Structure 1
Amino acid sequence: MIDLTLIGIGTGNPQHLTLQAIDALNAVDLILIPNKGAGKDDLAGLRRQICDQVITNEKVKIAEFDLPGRDPKTPDYRQRVDDWHDAIAVVWSETIAAQLPSGGKVGFLVWGDPSLYDSTMRIATRLQRQQQVALTVIPGVTSIQALTASHAIPVNEIGAPFTVTTGRQLRDHGWPDSADTLVVMLDGDCSFQSIDATGVQIWWSAYAGMREEIMVSGLLSEVADQIIATRARARADHGWIMDIYLLRK
């Protein structure tokens, strides 16, 4: 039997951890840390730093595993992601079996909150199909909260809705009719370039909530080029980037 706990850790700032998250990290037998390969090893290092800072239980083991990549030869995006999740589930299962052959409590640190544009719960469901796995989810501070806190802005206008979407959706389908405020995540292509910038404000953050945070805000027509250049430099400097932005008409 495996007790699997998915622990929301915020956006990389150890101060984002809740007391519940810290208790959970100290209660497991094993913590899994994915290694995403060259250029992204800072992400594994950040997880380890968080563990070093808050774990006081010397019995907790930490095991890194190499994260499989997506197969670029699969043309269908959804199928490509499903196959990727299947492969990750296999690696999880093999790593857990090697480290805890008799079962036990396993923890996995999830950026932000496990419920928001994160597939860790979907991968955990695959594990549950293969073996006895009890799943617990602990919420964390999201990048949306870190973004709006850093810029000191509310996410919505008074009584008005907002839409959380992805760069792919914005690029392929344009501004949705559901709201005048958009929060855009998972955008590696600066997809705000694909919309009419007239009258649109943007609040952009990279490494939101972290010591390295970079913020740009203003009229989209005036700061778009600055954001594109800043993002490119930051990615080159760090080898990876996580950014998020809010658009408002």
Structure 2
Amino acid sequence: MPEFNTMRAGHAGVRSAQIDAGLRAHMNKVYGLMSVGMLVTGLVAWLVGSNPVLLAQIFGTPLKWVVMFAPLIVVFAFSAMIHKMSAATAQIVFFGYSALMGLSISFIFAVYTGFSITQTFLITAIAFAGLSLVGYTTKKDLSGMGSFLVMGLIGLIVASIVNIFLGSPAVQFAISAIGVLIFAGLTAWDTQNIKNTYLELAGSDEEFLGKAAIMGALQLYLDFLNLFMFLLQFLGNRE
């Protein structure tokens, strides 16, 4: 019996080590995809934003409405259809979406100074890393705050769309403040959710786990980008 218990404990230890190694590889893939997506977004935003003629052709015409709302439509469609795609196709779509987001936010280079954009990006990166680390390491179950954050996010999207037409500085300030809080919470919650999702799917086929990593990367990408955009409205120095 002692020998059996020792063997069972040994097998459990091996299994646990395999899951830990698989989890690290999965999270590395998630963060890697997210980082490449951010790089694509930043490059496209800079290339377009540093070209005044191109900016005027986009944001000085009705085309700006397409550029502004296309990312929202694409992300909902992508989330709904990813289960029908291969992991390779989903990854290409994710990077294409990242480029589209870069086009959508390219106006920041005409509105804010390059130094304040860089400074805000670094502050966002530090805050994001800390919040994501909390979500990954905490023993507290954050699932309870998920529904609250999602409801807040829906309200935030509606308020942002309405304020595009109202143009109220006071409303925009409130949206930015609430947005920072919501996406700070979502960063920790999404990180824990990505970790728990892998633990539930451990042992599934690689194709399925690959698509789970892409969806995780998309979630954290959106958390980072929105946190950056809302912080930029507080910290950015206008041209």
Between structures 1 and 2, the one with greater strand share: 1
Between structures 1 and 2, the one with greater helix share: 2
TM bucket, shorter chain: under 0.3
Q: TM-score, normalization: structure 1?
A: 0.22
Larger Rg: 2
Q: TM-score, normalization: structure 2?
A: 0.23
Determine which structure has greater relative contact order: mean sequence separation of CA pairs < 8 Å that are 6+ residues apart, divided by chain length: 2
